[in-house]
Amino acid sequence: MNPNTVKNRLRAALLAACLVFAAAPASADPALAQARFADLSGRPVGLDAFRGKVAVVNFWATWCAPCRKEMPMFDKVARELKGRGLAMVGVALDTPAEVGPFVKALRIGYPVWIGDAGTMKLMRALGNPAAGLPFTVVLDRDGKVVARLLGEVSEANLRAAVEPRL
């Protein structure tokens, strides 16, 4: 089989998976609401801090090339839409020692939290069975999951998932 045909089929399958995740019905997820993480100082934090806002939760890692590529775009959108009620948070699957300098070097302005062993289980419960990265979840103002985006997210796709809910 032609290698280009295989690549095109893989791209089509990935796009279809993303559309299925994005089209999933809204549902409150108690596991996500109860999930606890640590900020870069080690303080416990949770998504309850974003109650009443549209929230974007991006699961990522410093070693994940697509994660690193999309972060400046996430930062740009977060800055532009903050005044309209958007909250953005990154949940890193690394240690604070790895994440802190990385976030500082990229000048990321939105909060970045540290996940733990339970974060992989949470990602699976949210509809990402392989716990692949990057994985982005959009929550409406009521905390209901309204979009699940697996893989690198384009600015257009992020805005399409977020802006109608602001």
For the segment(s) 3-165, the CATH number from 3.30.300.280, 3.90.1150.10, 3.40.30.10, 3.40.1390.10 is 3.40.30.10
pLDDT tens digits for range 68-83: 999 999 999 999 999 9
Distance CA 94, CA 103 (A): 12
Domain boundaries, the chain: 3-165
Mean pLDDT of the chain: 87
- Cα separation values, 39 from 7, 24, 51, 158, Å: 39, 30, 18, 24
What does the alpha-carbon distance between residue 115 and residue 15 come to, in Å, rounded to a whole number? 27
Residue 132 CB partners (closer than 8 Å, separation 6+): 150, 151
Ranges 16-20, 130-134, 149-153, 162-166: which has the least confidence:
16-20
Measured CA to CA, the distance from residue 43 to residue 34 in angstroms comes to 16
pLDDT 10s digits, 73-128: 999 999 999 999 999 999 999 999 999 999 999 999 999 999 998 999 999 999 99
Contact partners, residue 143, CB within 8 Å, separation at least 6: 28, 29, 32, 33, 47, 51, 55
**How far apart are the C-alpha atoms of 29 and 146, rounded to whole Å?**
11
**Residue given tokens 């302005």 in the structure block:** 109
